[in-house]
Structure 1
Amino acid sequence: MPPAHVLVPLDGSPLADDALEHALETFDCRVTVLNVVAPLDSAMSEGGLLEPGEDRREAASERADNLVARARDQAAAVDRTVETAVETGDPADTILAYVDDHDIDHVVMGGHGGSRNELARRLLGTVATAVVGEAPVTVTVVR
């Protein structure tokens, strides 16, 4: 059965843009794009390296707004609309919670490889690996 509600987590990377393109081309259903802003004091944000001041919070909020606006434009270019959401938290945990709380039945996301030890993490990236491993729904990883 085809999905009724697809979630596309966006992080500003080209692979995330490709994931949105794939979702819009492949699924004729409700699509929500989600940008997760990591807390400024977490290791996954620039705040983990730099002082978390008000300027950093504003910059993170502005970046999130720009990402979801760009997603709306990308959808409009193919005569589609997307719902948008911005949440704060650990990216993988927040994506998984969003799936549970919003009747998501498919996730399409970009995968990021990197210089990590485990093969799956190298192929997919840590957030994608966690979502693939723990999501109660089908996950498509775009590479």
Structure 2
Amino acid sequence: MAPSHVLVPLDGSPLADEALTQALELFDRRVTVLNVVTPIDAAMSEGGILEPGEERREAARDRAARVVERAKTRAAEVDREVETAVETGDPAEAILGYVDAHDVDHVVMGGHGGERGSIARRLLGTVATTVVSEAPVTVTVVR
């Protein structure tokens, strides 16, 4: 059965952009794009790695707005519309929470390879691996 609500998590990467392209081509259904703003960890700020402050949070929110607006523009170029959402938190947890809260029945996302960890993590990326293993719906990973 074809999905009725497809979620495409976007992080601004080429693979995420390709996931949006695939979702728009494959599913003539409701598509929501989601960008997750990850809060700066207090330990990172305390360790002097990152400066805490509103300026950094505002920059992250601005970037999120650009990511979802670019998705709307890309969808319009193929005569489609997408709904947009921006959440704050751990990316995998935010994606899974959005799936549960908004009747999403399919996720299409980019996979990112990493250099450490299990073979699955290296092939898919940590966020994609978590979503694939924990989502109660079908997940398509674009590589």
Q: Same fold (TM over 0.5)?
A: yes
- DSSP 3-state at the match of 1:136: coil
Query: 1:15-54 maps to which residues of 2 (within 5 A)?
Result: 15-41=15-41, 49-54=49-54
Larger Rg belongs to? 2
| Number of residues of Structure 1 aligned to a counterpart in Structure 2 | 140
Percent identity among equivalent residues? Answer: 76
Q: Indicate the RMSD between aligned Cα atoms, in angstroms.
A: 1.5
- DSSP 3-state at the match of 2:39: coil
Q: Distance in 2 between matches of 1:135 and 1:62?
A: 28
User: In 2 relative to 1, CA 42–122 (structure 1 residues): closer, same or farther, beyond 3 Å?
Assistant: farther
The structure 1 segments of at least 4 consecutive aligned residues displaced by more than 4 Å after TM superposition are none
Q: Distance in 1 between matches of 2:89 and 2:30?
A: 24
TM-score for the superposition, normalised by structure 1: 0.94
Contact residue 7 and residue 31 of structure 1 kept, 8 A: yes
Letter in 2 for 1:122: R
Letter in 1 for 2:131: V
Q: Distance in 1 between matches of 2:42 and 2:92?
A: 13
Give yes or no for the alignment of 1:95 onto 2:95: yes
Letter in 1 for 2:20: L
Letter in 2 for 1:71: A
What 5-or-longer segments of structure 1 have no aligned partner? Answer: none
What 5-or-longer segments of structure 2 have no aligned partner? Answer: none
